[in-house]
Amino acid sequence: MRTEILKLDPERPDRGAIELAARIIRDGGLVAFPTETVYGLGADAINEAAVGRIFEVKGRPPDNPLIVHISRPEMLELIASRVDQRARLLMSHFWPGPLTLVLERKPGVAQMASAGLNTIAVRMPKNAVALELIEASRTPIAAPSANTSGRPSPTSPEHVACDLGGKIELILDSGTTTIGIESTVLDVTADPPAILRPGWITREMLAELIGPVEMAASAEKLRRSPGTRYRHYSPRARLVLIEAPASGSIDSVCGRMLERGPIGFIGHTRPRIEDPRLLSIILPDSPEDYARSIYAALRELDQRQPAAIVVEGINDAGHGAAVMDRLRRAASEIINAAQEN
């Protein structure tokens, strides 16, 4: 299959291109599209065969449910059966935006998207291309991140093409995404509501609006959100995460990894090692910059097939918590240098 790529203005996407993409969705095809977090791989959420193809092309385990994207709150009625006051309050504050709500599913619809669970994950993305595509398709769109299962999520159309080129009908290209990591997943069928995946909307932001919110404990999380069980976001190379660097720890870890061969480094402290086999990507020490650049940096270094990629962590608070969650799940080895010393 030839994958068509259409370039779009992120603010004012061309009507003709959106119509073409919507027709593909309505005909049961697959369209990758930008959101404010990462690129999604979309299909008509109500069309079981189309959603089945998402699992196929991503190589996604069939028990890992998908997020359904809507363009207006009223669309919820097509897929969710009970939406309480608390959920409505969250929607009015955070939608459109990077918050996914797990709600009770309307029986008989979107069974494939929900992987057979009686709940359904829904969000309204804050991105003109995504919203116009959903509107024009006149159906909710099921969309996981548009990467091969297990690989870092795509923040640019090039990442999508690299993983899924030749396997899907169309990629809508509006450049790189703004946030860079996936939405917060909040289970509002639980009391108190539970965060199944941390993201840009932090626990503090949610609690300020609706009161107590818990982080789902790992066993619970496994039961409720099958996706969290799988290894995620990983480059092919061994990822070594330095959680809390102590003085000299970056140099010593890089030195140790260089014994295995060429390595990559991502962090905000430049290693003092002079070695042409060390390729560094230096980012500002902020969760915003890490989130926006981390997946692209992992993909870029991975292309050079290094023996390892060493990543320097950031402060695990606020938005940093979501970044560190992704890094921990991608890591083969986690070093807490502050504790070791």
Residues that bind ligand TXA (CB under 6 A): 35, 37-38, 40, 64-67, 98, 100, 102, 114, 117, 119-121, 125, 143-145, 182-183, 185, 196-197, 224-228
Q: By the criterion CB under 5 A, which residues form the site for Mg ion?
A: 145
197 binds, among ligand TXA, Mg ion, none (CB under 5 to 8 A by kind): ligand TXA
Residues linked to residue 171 through DSSP beta bridges, in sequence order: 5, 32
Q: How many CA atoms lie within 13 A of 80 on its CB side?
A: 24
CB of 146 to Mg ion, least distance (A): 9
Residue from 288, 259, 254 nearest 269 by CA: 254
64 binds, among Mg ion, ligand TXA, none (CB under 5 to 8 A by kind): ligand TXA
Q: Which is nearer to ligand TXA, 35 or 156 (CB)?
A: 35
- How far apart are alpha carbons 141 and 139 in whole angstroms? 6
CB of 153 to Mg ion, least distance (A): 5
Question: For residue 306, is the peptide bond before it cis, meaning its omega torsion is within 30 degrees of 0?
Answer: no
Pairing of strands 67-69, 141-142: antiparallel
CB of 39 to ligand TXA, least distance (A): 7
CB within 8 Å of 103: residues ≥ 6 apart:
76, 80, 81, 82, 83, 87, 119, 120, 121, 122, 188, 189
Q: Which residue's Cβ has the minimum distance to ligand TXA?
A: 227
Q: Which is nearer to Mg ion, 29 or 65 (CB)?
A: 65
**Phi, psi for residue 121 in degrees, rounded to 5:** -95, 130
CB of 71 to ligand TXA, least distance (A): 13
Neighbours of 260 (CB within 10 A): 11
Residue from 231, 235, 240, 239 nearest 299 by CA: 235
CB of 209 to ligand TXA, least distance (A): 20
**C-alpha dist (Å) from residue 105 to 8, 113, 124, 238:** 34, 11, 16, 39
CB of 308 to ligand TXA, least distance (A): 25
133 binds, among ligand TXA, Mg ion, none (CB under 5 to 8 A by kind): none
CB of 150 to Mg ion, least distance (A): 9
103 binds, among Mg ion, ligand TXA, none (CB under 5 to 8 A by kind): none
Q: Which is nearer to Mg ion, 144 or 306 (CB)?
A: 144
66 binds, among Mg ion, ligand TXA, none (CB under 5 to 8 A by kind): ligand TXA
Q: Which is nearer to ligand TXA, 196 or 242 (CB)?
A: 196
Q: Which is nearer to ligand TXA, 235 or 306 (CB)?
A: 235
Q: Which is nearer to Mg ion, 32 or 242 (CB)?
A: 32
152 binds, among Mg ion, ligand TXA, none (CB under 5 to 8 A by kind): none
267 binds, among ligand TXA, Mg ion, none (CB under 5 to 8 A by kind): none
Contact 197, 184 (CB under 8 A): yes
CB of 259 to ligand TXA, least distance (A): 35
